[in-house]
A and B are shown apart, each in its own frame.
Chain A
């Protein structure tokens, strides 16, 4: 692997040259389209937010910021290592972004603009006032402040302060507790109210009851000079519950803002030819059927259209998943979202963007996601049973004590409150989120981004895996092989290959290891190849029959050929490159007891070749997106739970339809949005590793639940029997929370891996 030296610093990790190219190509867009990603703040300063891959270390951060800031077209650059994002401040709003993105790719950090349509992707520190996570953190801080100070006062009272000291402590505690509960308790009170309003009961109802009753009773005691108050219990309870909730949200925020809203597959607009012949950039919703659009090389087809002028090669992987490019000529229909590779074409719009093939895929995906939404998280399932139980227990305790003490309602309420507090789902509330947060951190260090905790739960349950072929099991960049090549042929092939933008030609150029000859009169013919004069002699590189017009082609030739006029040709064989670690990953999954299958939209011979190479018995070829979904539905009907790994180019809906899904970072935007996990690194080892982590997490969560429930089983009888004061209840609950957190930290176990700090 290469080491790039940048200035004085050498980057320590290898850079995948072929990946850079592939990502830049797949995310490419015209200058105008990119420019729409620039946001302008209220000072009129333009910024753009990019998502980076390959970002792993502090040295990377320093390199990127220093190199970019030194450019004249960049005012400032700031990397966020935690989110793997980069914010560039631009000196002018009409800055061309392409050279900047190329510079980043050359440094080894492929970047794609973050979708400006997704508001959460553009939030920054200053503008995040309203976001849920920050409000939770503030509520947590207030609760912590209140808990620490009230605890100090209550320890004093409990340790023996009496008389006026004690009562002034009570008043002081009240003065602190009331605003703290009103501010920090809002999430719980609001949620409980809306649930009750809708006639349901959720976990926040007993919490709101416990906190509210404790506060009110303590206030009553303070006003009446009672001996015991329990402000500490109320506030400490809030603190720990908020802790769990905040952790959950932070984790979700991080995953969401990192992967959603990447540059959309769908073009934002198109260059429409006017009646006077000029091209005008028009937003996509205004491009009407019958209009004529011009599409350049490297751009995505904006709408379903029909070529009227020009020839080109297309990457139709969106539709077919095919790994080879396809020629197109006037009269051919093009689908929105496919990639125009080599030529400039003019095409007549067939239907509006909202009815395009791409739009249909997105609709299919939405439907599939709706079915997955039925999956109810473990914690919520537990909550459904638990909340009523808690209420009933507290009520019965109250009634029981009222009867047993013949009307001492104060004592009865104390005991009932103790029961409410002890049954409060602190540990329960933490059991799952804290394990998920630790797991998410561990996965991130492994190079896997997790969308939310339910994904982890679903991953632990799988019994089968299915892989897409192109772009998932294979890298999508062809491997070239050829027989021995003479020096002259090599120079000639190299000269023509480097002059062409076609991916196969570029692959050939990388394969050949010689100096190119001097070339003149280059003429690239989409669908056929590239012709020119090399060192004075006519030569062609491309399709067999076309090269055969000037050179000698053996019968049955397949794949690209090179030949000088009148000479025998040199044949190149294109084969797919397996992703690193693919074989090891498949074997690891099989060793773990999972069934492995492959679904591909590509043709049978190529599919079978890869299936044999990887030892996969069950492989489906020429599968359309709908066929993939049908396959998954059949498995679901058989009761199997399937993990789908795909890059979403033609299987985004399938990713949404599977029980749980993963996509590589180089996947299409649709794939990234549909998948539950994103693999940030190149190899497929992430798949079995993520699965193992999910199972370990599920184990930890089970243990946490056992601990939390066990603690409840032991303490509830004690509380009902009146042996537990509210303060003790709060402390016991805190202790159980600590146990649960410590257990979750066991997931990290072993030496800390060398990666960006936690």
Chain B
């Protein structure tokens, strides 16, 4: 990989990693006695490791200019692998914390392994670690392919990918140490936030520069979804993480906002993170990989553009539906409810568009597990957006708020939509990316699909049941006007559901492990083959999994 970097690239890499080590040193020295120093050490190790990687290979032969006639796929490959690794790590943490709820002794009496510290390792691990790397990797692939142009540089993509992973590592390690802002999906502290802004600006610049040098005049719609994801996340991230550090030598900071203002900001961010990170970005993935795999164009390209603009305009105001029945002013709550309901229209337009694309190709869905991942993802997208709109209506929310139903909703979206589309895209991408004839084992893909689907279904059903149980128990009154059930009683009633939930998550985790294994084996064992055509390739015995249909 270093061999594909030019001398200037390697020089730049040395410079950047050296700067990184120095910053780490500064953090360590300046933060001595504070947990900031630990992070300083981590930064030094991370950057130092990369420094060594480049330095030891500094004199490897330089690549020729013929590389400029091909796409630059090294960062994409590493990104795919990192996404899978984070998937396993993040989901393993998820199973652990789910198990903790049923069996608290799994904490082993340590501080770092308490529920409060492990949970964000799970959420950040799957959202940013798995999802973020999947987005970055697929975006690198899509922006080059749809522009028919190689990306403009070789250092920038590595900076984005590895810098982002540094952010994830700092975040996860920080949680274990107890470093958190306590803002959902925005837990990392001020220094990590600043670093993410730097990485993100580079990401946006890289994307725009690639589009600017496109040889295909039309910018495919998937790129717009990715660009919205990058730009809006940057803005959201900056506003929500406005904080004042106690001192520059310590990790601790205080939010610039307080009370209900802070709550509104957090959920304005939080829900838009769902909208633009977990929806817009992955819709970009869907709009590229699903038609590619199905070998049919998007059913209505015009509709995909319309729903892009619809989502962009409507999503921004739904955040307050997380704060119904709180101290937030009533009219702000109503505003959130109204837009949450209206949001259903562009969301279902996208889901419908994806499914109609498959109309006439259902036999491919039956035979090809990779395509089936994408189809089921689209279905879950429709389901969870409906569920979300439904749950944001005040009467429904009065039952569901603070219950496990919310968790169930999150996971039907995260497992059913986000994870499945990511896995589908990775399976579609892997043989092409590594120039392999086929995936190592198509049966393993099938296994993964059924494990993932059953894991999701078990999880979501468990949470629907537990959530409704909680909600109903908490609002049951006796004749005298007091509560019928104590909180403890409702907790005890959860036990069975929590076991089921952990089991569902376990199935999902096993699927992810299989995926990682399958991809690694594909890289190592499957014979190299430069495909003449960018078709989805074979099943067992190197025969096509789906018959190759002539273009219609």
Q: Assess A/B contact in the complex (Cβ within 8 A).
A: yes
Across the two chains, which residue of chain A brings its CB closest to B312?
A: A148
**Residues of B contacting A381 in the complex (Cβ-Cβ under 8 angstroms):** none
Contact with A160, one of B299, B314, B334 (Cβ below 8 angstroms):
B334
Contact of B330 with A757 in the complex, beta carbons under 8 Å: no
Confirm or deny: B69 has a beta carbon within 8 angstroms of a beta carbon on chain A. no
Bound-state CA distance A157–B335 (Å) is: 9
**Residues of B contacting A157 in the complex (Cβ-Cβ under 8 angstroms):** 331
Confirm or deny: A732 has a beta carbon within 8 angstroms of a beta carbon on chain B. no
> A152-B317, A752-B299, A757-B301 given as contacts; is B331 within 8 A of A159 (CB)?
yes
Contact of B313 with A148 in the complex, beta carbons under 8 Å: yes
Q: What per-residue 1/0 map shows which CB atoms of B193-226 lie under 8 Å from chain A?
A: 0000000000000000000000001000000000
Bound-state CA distance A159–B309 (Å) is: 26
Min CB gap A644→B, angstroms: 34
Report the contact-size class of chain A (Cβ under 8 Å from the partner). Answer: 20 to 34
Min CB gap A554→B, angstroms: 51
Contact of A758 with B552 in the complex, beta carbons under 8 Å: no
Confirm or deny: A580 has a beta carbon within 8 angstroms of a beta carbon on chain B. no
Across the two chains, which residue of chain A brings its CB closest to B216?
A: A78
> A12-B550, A145-B313, A160-B330 given as contacts; is B335 within 8 A of A758 (CB)?
no
**Residues of B contacting A165 in the complex (Cβ-Cβ under 8 angstroms):** 331
**Residues of A contacting B217 in the complex (Cβ-Cβ under 8 angstroms):** 78, 125
Min CB gap A492→B, angstroms: 42
Q: What per-residue 1/0 map shows which CB atoms of A4-20 lie under 8 Å from chain B?
A: 00001110100000000
Contact of A757 with B297 in the complex, beta carbons under 8 Å: yes
Confirm or deny: A57 has a beta carbon within 8 angstroms of a beta carbon on chain B. yes
Contact with A156, one of B299, B332, B359, B552 (Cβ below 8 angstroms):
B332
Contact of A156 with B297 in the complex, beta carbons under 8 Å: no
> A12-B550, A148-B314, A752-B359 given as contacts; is B299 within 8 A of A159 (CB)?
no
Contact of B533 with A152 in the complex, beta carbons under 8 Å: no
Contact with A159, one of B297, B313, B330, B359 (Cβ below 8 angstroms):
B330
Contact of B300 with A159 in the complex, beta carbons under 8 Å: no
**Residues of A contacting B533 in the complex (Cβ-Cβ under 8 angstroms):** 8
Contact of A757 with B299 in the complex, beta carbons under 8 Å: yes
Confirm or deny: A710 has a beta carbon within 8 angstroms of a beta carbon on chain B. no
Confirm or deny: B551 has a beta carbon within 8 angstroms of a beta carbon on chain A. yes
**Residues of B contacting A10 in the complex (Cβ-Cβ under 8 angstroms):** 550
Contact of B299 with A59 in the complex, beta carbons under 8 Å: no
> A8-B533, A152-B335 given as contacts; is B302 within 8 A of A58 (CB)?
no
Confirm or deny: A626 has a beta carbon within 8 angstroms of a beta carbon on chain B. no
Contact of A161 with B297 in the complex, beta carbons under 8 Å: no
> Which of chain A's residues 2-39 have a Cβ closer than 8 Å to chain B?
8-10, 12
Q: What per-residue 1/0 map shows which CB atoms of A118-134 lie under 8 Å from chain B?
A: 00000001000000000
> A59-B551, A754-B552 given as contacts; is B332 within 8 A of A144 (CB)?
no
**Residues of A contacting B330 in the complex (Cβ-Cβ under 8 angstroms):** 159-160
**Residues of A contacting B550 in the complex (Cβ-Cβ under 8 angstroms):** 10, 12, 59
Confirm or deny: A155 has a beta carbon within 8 angstroms of a beta carbon on chain B. yes
Bound-state CA distance A355–B297 (Å) is: 52
Contact of A754 with B313 in the complex, beta carbons under 8 Å: no
Contact of A758 with B360 in the complex, beta carbons under 8 Å: no
**Residues of A contacting B301 in the complex (Cβ-Cβ under 8 angstroms):** 757-758
Binding site for B on A (CB under 8 A): 8-10, 12, 57-59, 62, 78, 125, 144-145, 148-149, 152, 155-157, 159-161, 165, 751-752, 754, 756-758
A–B pairs, 13, beta carbons within 8 Å: A8-B533, A58-B297, A59-B551, A78-B217, A155-B338, A156-B334, A161-B329, A752-B359, A754-B552, A756-B297, A757-B297, A757-B300, A758-B301
Binding site for A on B (CB under 8 A): 217, 297-302, 309, 313-314, 317, 329-332, 334-335, 338-339, 356, 359-360, 532-533, 550-552
By Cβ-Cβ distance, the 7 closest A-B pairs, closest first, are A59-B551, A159-B334, A159-B331, A160-B331, A148-B313, A161-B331, A12-B550
Known: A160-B334, A161-B329. 16 other contacts (CB 8 A): A8-B533, A9-B551, A12-B550, A12-B551, A12-B552, A78-B217, A152-B317, A156-B332, A156-B335, A159-B330, A159-B338, A160-B331, A161-B332, A751-B359, A752-B299, A754-B552
